[in-house]
Amino acid sequence: MNLEYSTEQTLLADSVERLLSQRRATDRRAIWAACAELGLLALPFPEDMGGLAGGNVEAQIVMEAVGRHLADVPYIGCAVGPGAILGLCPETLRLRELVAAIAEGSRTACLAHEEEHARYRLAHVETRAERTASGFVLNGKKTGIATIDGVDELIVSARLSGAAGDETGIALFLVPADLPGVRMRTFPAFDGTTLAIVGLSDVALPPDALLASDKGALAALDRAEAASLSAVCGEAVGILEAMLDETVAYLKTRQQFGGPIGRFQALQHRAAEMYVALEQARSMALLAAVSVDLPDREERWRMLAAAKVQINASLRFVGQQAVQLHGGIGVTEECRVGRCFKRTAMIERAFGDTFHHLAVLDRLGGLEGRLPRTAPAQANGRAA
Amino acid sequence: MDLSFSHEEIAFRDEVRAFIRDNLPADIRAKAGRVAHFDKADVVAWHRILDARGWAASHWPREHGGPGFSPVQRYIFMEEMLRAPTPEPLSFNINMVGPVVYTFGSDAQKARFLSRIRSLDWWFCQGFSEPGAGSDLAALRTSARREGDEYIVNGQKIWTSTAHVADWMFCLVRTDAAAKKQEGISFLLIDMRTPGITVRPIITIDGAHHTNEVFLDDVRVPVANRIGAENRGWDYAKFLLGNERTGIARVGLSQGRVSRAVSLACGIEGLDGPLTDDHGFRRRVIELEIELKALEITALRIIDRQRRRNDGRPDPASSVLKLRGAETQQASAQLLLDVAGRLGAPLDADLAALGGGFAEAQGAAAIHLGARAATIYGGSSEIQKNIIAKGILGL
């Protein structure tokens, strides 16, 4: 057991903190360039493709700072997710060039996997890929893509065979966003982050666009989902910290009835409960980070599901209390806790919400495997 | 970052597990998990078995007769005993008075008391709370007036668990009525056979006689039985209450209750088939499992921090363990009784005569009722929140 950051991890935490505490939340591209300069964009990618092969703890360190500063950095969608996918793909010259370009910030890539009817089921892919004489043709629609404006490359999941929900038949493709037939629409989510929907109609790809297929593709998607879930747990911890700090500071300064409202025990106890929720979330984020690479799929998803359920509960409780204890100012656009609260609500539904992960745990007989199984066990869900 | 135990720690866990399996007497094993409190005889019997192995005082340093466990080993050891479950080494002796004696006692006191505290030859109870001094412990009024080389002690203690079977009581008394309330308190060891001590039972809602009122009426206590300096008792009490807090989450105890609830549920049919298929039941199990996992990791994080800091000071974050630990003990006890349904009704009856289902559910009511005290004793949940608010958040 060793729960201490290494020297390198401490340095990383310090430098990310420094970077994000200096930047205004609005200049997205500038933050992205600064992230590249710091080496953060190379971090999630495998070493043989020119990445830094950072681990899940490193990704959480970055995301914790992102959360703490409520930075608009699509690090999970454009770095953690692609890094996890490419880590399981055979190394090629094209991928090495891509990773080098991503690392220096000159090109961007993101994962386009989610679909309208998937509802967190990993193998629910309706988008079709057909083999043709000159490669592949893709048709379908991808949703909920966490991305950056003007993204260059999409890592798209599509089905070569089978029906939505089948664990076999899925393939992953590298799709330049400017290809004919790729139509991307971005929209702001309620928390201010950018999401995209991509329509694919008769998108023609050369044979070397195929990154992985079947078992390999599913394993890569599973790994990306696991790594992303772990990373977003780190972001959650950062936001929880920020909300607790802001709230405690407010309790100490806001004057009512002739003194700071923090002298009232009812409010002190609420703040104490927020602290408990933060500590429990910190513990579960740690569990998530060390569970991403567990070889047993069921064991891995038991731990990750438990982590996400607990962290969602902490986000909801702390978010609601932070707004409440700020009073009227807490529900205004100018107040930071209000923005934090919106972000928590988006994180709750990232990489599986509470309904989903409780269902995962139910199928697996609970976290400790004590409960008799009632349904055929499929880690992280598939179509029933 | 690594959450898993080392090979040595896992080997140690297996050793403890095997020791419990091979040495826990069958009659105690049969009661395990079915009683809210073990009898004195059971606690003593198991304690002696542990002591023979050198494990009774699991977190005492080697020079005072402890096994010299690392913080992680201590945690593993306690959790294995809770999970089995076995009677726990008597907290009053091992966690509370023992460390006070070896830290603040004189050589003569160490020679007289330590090995008897460790071996449980002398069973201690805790004379802290009074009718007017509960959460506000420093408001205590039991007085000790010096007369030659004796104190004359007068007053009343309450919630004195096991006083009726105890040989000794460690007791906070007021030796200076004029001083600020924390500064006039001394820490005495009182022989329970001393004339003037009256123990009156308090029957708790679980039907048990576990706790008591203790009346002290001109009780003569040798000054030689005072630990440390006069009027410094509050410091020793704070040390005692902050000592070894990482085990207080008692995750293993709650895990054992959840396991028992699930196995009980396996044999129960409801409106829609087996209770273990019931969505609401399964969800409560899963949510408890998640909470317990988080608590377990929080305990390990605090141990890890202490190991690195190594100054022995209590970590205010351990209030999280007491707070959530007590809540999960209650939630798991409640789950057990909820599964038992009306078969959980008997508190104390001839279960063999009532039938098998009642025997299966034995103890569910007593455990549930007994668990309500968990958020009250040892610093109530409200006090823990005060500690967090003041000690950590600076409110």
Q: Please state the domain extents for chain B.
A: 7-89, 124-231, 245-392
Query: Does residue A1 sit within a domain?
Result: no
The CA–CA distances, whole Å, from B384 to A327, B137, B251, B320 equal 26, 14, 18, 8
Note whether A256 and A141 are same-domain residues.
Answer: no
Note whether A232 and A303 are same-domain residues.
Answer: yes
Q: Which H or E run contains B8?
A: helix B7-23
Q: Which H or E run contains B305?
A: helix B279-309
Query: Does residue A372 sit within a domain?
Result: no
Q: Which two tokens stand for residue A215?
A: 């078992």
Query: Does residue A231 sit within a domain?
Result: yes
What percentage of chain A carries pLDDT values higher than 70? 96
Write the CATH number for A147.
2.40.110.10
Long-range contacts from B24-28, C-beta under 8 angstroms, 24+ separation: B24/B49, B24/B84, B24/B86, B25/B49, B28/B86, B28/B87
pLDDT score recorded for residue B356: 82
**Phi, psi dihedrals of residue A33, rounded to the nearest 5°:** -65, -40
Note whether A155 and A206 are same-domain residues.
Answer: yes
Residue B118 has pLDDT above 90, yes or no: yes
The CA–CA distances, whole Å, from B103 to A95, B59, B61, B173, B248 equal 64, 13, 11, 20, 21
CB B261 within 8 A of CB B254: no
A279/B contact by beta carbon, under 8 A: yes
Among the partner residues B262, B301, B394, nearest to A370 by beta-carbon distance: B262
Tokens 């076995």, located at residue:
B86
Indicate if B244 belongs to the active site: yes
Q: Where are the alpha helices (DSSP H) in chain A?
A: 7-22, 28-37, 56-68, 75, 81-86, 93-104, 214-253, 265-291, 297-326, 336-348, 354-363
Quick: pLDDT tens for A297-354.
Answer: 999 999 999 999 999 999 999 999 999 999 999 999 899 999 999 999 999 999 999 9
Distance of alpha carbon B79 from alpha carbon B83, whole angstroms:
6
Quick: pLDDT tens for B376-394.
Answer: 998 999 999 999 999 999 9
Query: Does residue A39 sit within a domain?
Result: yes
Note whether A73 and A167 are same-domain residues.
Answer: no
Cα B298–B237–B305 angle (5° rounding)? 25
Note whether A237 and A301 are same-domain residues.
Answer: yes
Quick: pLDDT tens for A270-296.
Answer: 999 999 999 999 999 999 999 999 999
A367/B contact by beta carbon, under 8 A: yes
Residue A197 sits in which domain range? 109-213
Boundary (domain end) residue, out of A54, A73, A104: A104
Note whether A222 and A359 are same-domain residues.
Answer: yes
Note whether A208 and A222 are same-domain residues.
Answer: no
Residues 6 or more apart whose Cβ sits within 8 Å of residue B383: B135
Q: Which H or E run contains B259?
A: helix B251-266
ipTM of the complex: 0.95
Boundary (domain end) residue, out of A213, A233, A260: A213
Distance of alpha carbon A301 from alpha carbon A308, whole angstroms:
10
Region label for B33, one of left (φ > 0), alpha (ψ between -120 and 50) or beta (otherwise): left
pLDDT score recorded for residue B115: 95
Among the options B244, B287, B327, B382, which is catalytic? Answer: B244
pLDDT score recorded for residue A381: 52
Residue A378 has pLDDT above 60, yes or no: no
Q: How many residues does chain B have?
A: 395
Interval A223-249 mean pLDDT: 98
Interval B320-344 mean pLDDT: 96
Beta strand segments in B76-203, E: 124-127, 143-147, 150-158, 168-174, 185-191, 197-203
Note whether A314 and A252 are same-domain residues.
Answer: yes
Domain B7-89: which CATH number of 2.40.50.140, 1.10.540.10, 3.90.120.10, 3.50.50.60: 1.10.540.10
Chain A residues inside the 8 Å CB shell of B324: 276, 280
Q: How many domains does chain A have?
A: 3
CB A287 within 8 A of CB A278: no
Among the partner residues B2, B392, B395, nearest to A290 by beta-carbon distance: B2
Note whether A270 and A323 are same-domain residues.
Answer: yes
If we measure between CA atoms, which residue out of A171, A155, A159, A161 comes closest to residue A127?
A159
pLDDT score recorded for residue B175: 97
Boundary (domain end) residue, out of A197, A213, A229: A213
Distance of alpha carbon B245 from alpha carbon B323, whole angstroms:
12
Query: Does residue A369 sit within a domain?
Result: no
Note whether A168 and A230 are same-domain residues.
Answer: no
User: Class of the B245-392 domain?
Assistant: mainly alpha
Query: Does residue A309 sit within a domain?
Result: yes
Cα B146–B168–B39 angle (5° rounding)? 160
Chain A (336-365) residues lying within 8 Å, Cβ to Cβ, of chain B: 358, 361-362
Query: Does residue A373 sit within a domain?
Result: no
Q: The domain at B124-231 falls in which architecture?
A: Beta Barrel (2.40)
If we measure between CA atoms, which residue out of A159, A119, A121 comes closest to residue A139?
A159
Note whether A150 and A287 are same-domain residues.
Answer: no
Interval A97-124 mean pLDDT: 96
Among the partner residues B286, B393, B394, nearest to A362 by beta-carbon distance: B286
